[in-house]
Structure 1
Amino acid sequence: MRTTPTLPMALPARILLLGSGELGKELTIAFQRLGCHVIAADSYPGAPAMQVAHESVVLDMTDGQALSSLLGRVHVDLVVPEVEAIATDELAAVERSGRARVVPNAFAVQATMDRQRIRALADSLSAVRTSAFRFASNVQELREALRHTGLPAFVKPTMSSSGHGQSRITSADQAEEAWERACTQARCHTGRVIVEEEINFDCEITLLTVRSWDPHQGRVVTGFCAPIGHRQEGGDYVESWQPAAVSDAALASARRMAREVTDALAVRGQGPCLGLFGVEFFVAGDEVWFSELSPRPHDTGMVTMASQDQSEFDLHVRAVLGMPVDTALKRPGASAVIMSTGAVEDARYFGVAQALASGAGVRIFGKPVTRADRRLGVALAHGEDVESARSCAFRAADLVTVAPAVASLDA
C-alpha cells in the first residue's frame, strides 16, 4: 500500500531507530529536541543511542524473523535505519503494509546498504561516472574481475562500512587473501565482493545531500552542504574538514551526480524519499567519480556539529519530519577521531579537560572498548580557516586517552 504522508508531520512522532551507534545517538538527541519518542535497537545492550533513547531493544537485525517480530509489536510512525546490517526485506514489507514509513524509503535502504545494488544503479544513470568495477562470488571470479579493473584494485564486501573487510591489492596473487578478509570482516557477509579500479585522485569528499519538503513549492527539493574532505587510514576515517577545497566545476559535477542518484532512489521507491544522504566522491582536478552513498548521516559529517548551525543530524531529522532545513556553512570546521589502542574493560577517559581547554569540543560515544582502533569519540573544532580548525581538532583528539579504571588510582 502506497503511503502519502502529511507534511510536516504532527509531533510527537514515534521513531524506531535500527542501529544505535554514535550516529544514532546524535540522531536520537535531535529527534528528542523536537519531542519525538525514540526506540533504539541494536545487537548489544547499552549501545550509545540506547543510553539516551526512551526505550531500547536488543536483537540481531539481520535475522528477518526477529526484525519482523519487532516491527509487528512496536507502533511507530518512522523506521530509521542507522547501520548496514539489516534484513531489509522486512523493511519493504512494513512499508507495503502502510504501518510505518521507512526513511528515506525501503528501496533506498535496500539499494544503498548493498554495494552491488547502489553501484549498479549509479552505473545505469547517464549523468553518473563510476570507476571500473566487477562483482565476484569466489576467488576465481575475483581474479577474472581484476582483468577488467586492472591493478592496483580494491576488494570490498558488498555489505559493510568504515573500511571493514576492505583490501588494496597490487597482484592477483593476493586475491585469495582479499577474499578471506572480505568474508570474515564484513558487517554481514553476502557471498559476494566488489572489485574496484583504483582511481588516482587528489582527494575524497562527502557531499551531504538533503531531500526536504518545500511547502511554498509543494514538492521535494534537494539541497547540499558544503563539501567535506576526509582522510582515511585502513579504510576508516580519522579526520574530516569542511569546506573541502575543490574546483567549482568539480563541485557542480558532484552535485549533479548526487541529485541524479538520490532522485533515482525516490522514483524507484515509495513515498517522498526525505532525509540526508552521505554521497562520497573521488576528485581529481575537475574530474569526479561517484564512490558510495549512505541513506543517513555519515561519519565524516560529524564535522557539521562544529561548522553548521544545523548539523547533519538536525538536517536528517528535520527533513524526514517535513520541517524546514538550513544547509549553510557558518564557519570552517574539522573533526578528529579518538581511537582505542587496545581492548579495555571498565574504560576511563583521561585528558578530556585538557582537550576542552584547547578550544575544541569533545564527544565521547560511550561504546564498550572491545578492540584496538575502535572509534570511541571525536574532537570538534572551528576556526578562521580549515587548517587552523584541523590543527585544533587533531591536537584535542591526541590529548584524550582511554585506560582501565584502575589507572585512575594513579592519575
Structure 2
Amino acid sequence: MVNNHALGSPLGTQRTKVLMLGSGELGKEIVIELMRLGAWVCAADSYEGAPAAQVAHEARVLDMANPDQLDALIDEIQPDIIIPEVEAIATQELHKAVDAGIQVTPSSQIAAICMDRERLRVLAHETLGLPTTPYRFAGSYQELVAGAKAVGFPCVIKPIMSSSGHGQSVARAADDLEASWAEAQHGRRAADDGEVSRVIVEAFAPLESELTVLTVSSSAGVVTCQAIGQRQEDGDYRESWQPVGLDQKVLDRAHELAVQIVDGLVDVAHQHQEPGWGVFGVELFVLKDGSLLFNEVSPRPHDTGMVTIMSQRLSEFALHARAVLGIPVSSNDTRLSIPQGMTAASRAIVVEGDGEVVFTGVEQALSTSDSELRLFGKPAVHGHRRMGVALSTAAGTDAAREKTRSLLDKLHIDVLPADQNTSIA
C-alpha cells in the first residue's frame, strides 16, 4: 500500500508521477490540483486537445479500452499512481498495474465494481444492506419481460455497463419493453463487441429529489461533504446546489448511507492490499415520504461537485488530489466556506450544434457578483455537449440557481462550422 509520495519542483527526478486515464473537465481540475502539490502528470484520452491534456505536463491519445494500448502506455510512463477518470478502461490492465506496485485510485477492484451496475448493486443491497429500489437483472429480452413483471410498471431499464444516462429508458407498459431492450443494447459501453448486454430493471421510485454526497477516503479515514442537490435531464447533470435545504434527519441519514457504501468499497480495496483513497460521488434518491434509497456511486469526483469550487474550503478536486497523494483529509477540509444562509449553485453550459464553440460576452457574464465561469476548452461539439459551467452564490437556493441562469443569459455562444478533420470523443 502506497502511503508516502515524493513531491517536488519541476526539475525533480524523484517526484510522484501520475497517469490520468480520462482528460475531461473534471480531470482538468484534478490535474491542476495535483500539479499545485508538485506531482508530474500525464493526461490520456481518446482524442487530441482534451481539457486535462491542455494543462498536464504531457498528454497521450489512445483507446483506453484496448488492453494492448493501455498496457503499452503504462509501460512507457511508469507511473506511481493511476487515476481512472472515465469508465471505458480495460480494467484487467489496472489489476496488472497493481500487481506491479502501482497505486490505482481509489483501487483497481473498486473501479471494476463501480463500472458494473450488477456487481455494485449486489454489494450495496445484498451484502451491505443499503435500501434500494426493487430490481432484477436480465441477460435476454425474455428475462427483461419477467423482471419488469416482477418489479411492476413503470420501470427503468439500464445497461449494466454504461454511464451518464446512455442506454437508459423508462418502460411504462409491457409494449415499451422491446424498445427499452434495443436502447440498452445500443447505448451501453462497447456496443460494437457483438455480445448481449445484461441490464438492470428497477421499479420507478416516487422521487422528491436526488442528492449527491461527496465522500472522501484518505489516510485519515472517511469523511463527507455537505449533501448536494441536483437537477438532471436524460440522466445527465444540468444543475447542482449546496447546501440542500432538507430536514436534518434526512441529511444525517444521507451521510450515513454514503459512509456505509464507501466503507464497504474501501474494505474490498484493503482485502486486495490497495489503499482505496479518493473522492466518491454517492448518488441517493429522496422519496416523497422522506426516506432514502441508494442509487449509484462514482469512484471519482462527480459532475454535480463542480459547485464545490464556490462552496467549500477545498473543492472536490483538491480533496481528491490530497487523498490520492496520501495526505490526510479531515472534516475541516470538507466544510463549507460560504456564509451561513448562503447557497452555491452550478449550471452546466450545454451547447448543441456541429463544430467549434466560441464564447463571447464573458466580461459581461463575469460582471455578475459572486460568480465564476469554467469554460472547458473542448475542441468541438457534434450534437450536444457540456462545454462549461456557471457558478454563483446567493442568499438561498432559488436565488443562487436563478443567478447562474442569468449569468448564462449574458453569454453569447456561436458554433462555427465543423472542420472535416475535427474529431472528438
TM-score by length of 1: 0.92
Match of 1:183 in 2: 185
Match of 1:347 in 2: 357
Residues 1:320 and 2:324 are matched in the alignment: yes
Match of 1:5 in 2: 2
Residues 1:41 and 2:44 are matched in the alignment: yes
Match of 1:409 in 2: none
CA contact (8 A) 1:378 1:397 kept: no
Residue by residue over 1:22-51, the C-alpha shift from the partner in whole angstroms, topping out at 9 and shown as x without a partner, is 111111111111111111111111111111
Paired residue secondary structure (1:124): helix
Match of 1:274 in 2: 277
Say if 1:400 and 1:309 are closer, same or farther in 2 by CA, change over 3 A.
same
**Count of residues in correspondence between the two structures:** 394
Q: 2:19 aligns with which of 2, 11, 16?
A: 16
Shift of 1:405: 4.5
CA contact (8 A) 2:136 2:201 kept: yes
Match of 1:132 in 2: 134
Shift of 1:251: 2.0
Match of 2:413 in 1: 402
Paired residue secondary structure (2:284): strand
- The CA distance in 1 between the partners of 2:68 and 2:119, in whole Å, is 23
Superposed CA RMSD: 1.6
Match of 1:235 in 2: 235
Shift of 1:292: 0.4
Paired residue secondary structure (1:83): coil
Q: Which amino acid letter does the alignment assign opposite residue 347 of structure 1?
A: V
Match of 2:421 in 1: none
Paired residue secondary structure (1:309): coil
Match of 2:246 in 1: 246
Q: Which amino acid letter does the alignment assign opposite residue 111 of structure 1?
A: I
- The CA distance in 2 between the partners of 1:400 and 1:238, in whole Å, is 17
Residues 1:213 and 2:219 are matched in the alignment: yes
Residues 1:64 and 2:67 are matched in the alignment: yes
Match of 1:217 in 2: none
Match of 1:362 in 2: 373
- The CA distance in 2 between the partners of 1:195 and 1:96, in whole Å, is 36
Residue by residue over 1:95-122, the C-alpha shift from the partner in whole angstroms, topping out at 9 and shown as x without a partner, is 1221x10001111110001111111110
Shift of 1:313: 0.3
Match of 2:114 in 1: 112
Residues 1:200 and 2:206 are matched in the alignment: yes
Shift of 1:388: 1.9
Say if 1:397 and 1:182 are closer, same or farther in 2 by CA, change over 3 A.
farther
Say if 1:398 and 1:148 are closer, same or farther in 2 by CA, change over 3 A.
farther
Match of 1:218 in 2: none
Residue by residue over 1:284-325, the C-alpha shift from the partner in whole angstroms, topping out at 9 and shown as x without a partner, is 243110000000000011000111121000011111112243
Residues 1:287 and 2:291 are matched in the alignment: yes
Runs (5+) with no aligned partner, structure 2? 8-14, 418-425
Shift of 1:225: 0.5
Paired residue secondary structure (1:231): strand
Runs (5+) with no aligned partner, structure 1? 215-220, 407-411
Residues 1:51 and 2:54 are matched in the alignment: yes
Paired residue secondary structure (2:395): coil
Residues 1:168 and 2:164 are matched in the alignment: no
CA contact (8 A) 1:338 1:397 kept: yes
Shift of 1:136: 1.8
Say if 1:193 and 1:286 are closer, same or farther in 2 by CA, change over 3 A.
same
TM-score by length of 2: 0.89
Q: Which sits farther off after the overlay, 290-299 or 143-152?
A: 143-152
Shift of 1:126: 4.3
Shift of 1:19: 0.5
Residues 1:378 and 2:378 are matched in the alignment: no
Shift of 1:341: 2.2
Q: Which amino acid letter does the alignment assign opposite residue 256 of structure 1?
A: E
CA contact (8 A) 2:128 2:261 kept: no
Match of 2:80 in 1: 77
- The CA distance in 1 between the partners of 2:211 and 2:412, in whole Å, is 28
CA contact (8 A) 1:209 1:278 kept: yes
- The CA distance in 2 between the partners of 1:6 and 1:233, in whole Å, is 40
Match of 1:260 in 2: 260
Match of 2:420 in 1: none
CA contact (8 A) 1:301 1:312 kept: yes
Q: What are the equivalent positions in structure 2 for 1:300-311 lying under 5 Å apart?
A: 300-311=304-315
- The CA distance in 2 between the partners of 1:20 and 1:81, in whole Å, is 9
- The CA distance in 1 between the partners of 2:187 and 2:365, in whole Å, is 33
Q: Which amino acid letter does the alignment assign opposite residue 2 of structure 2?
A: P
Q: 1:96 aligns with which of 81, 94, 99?
A: 99
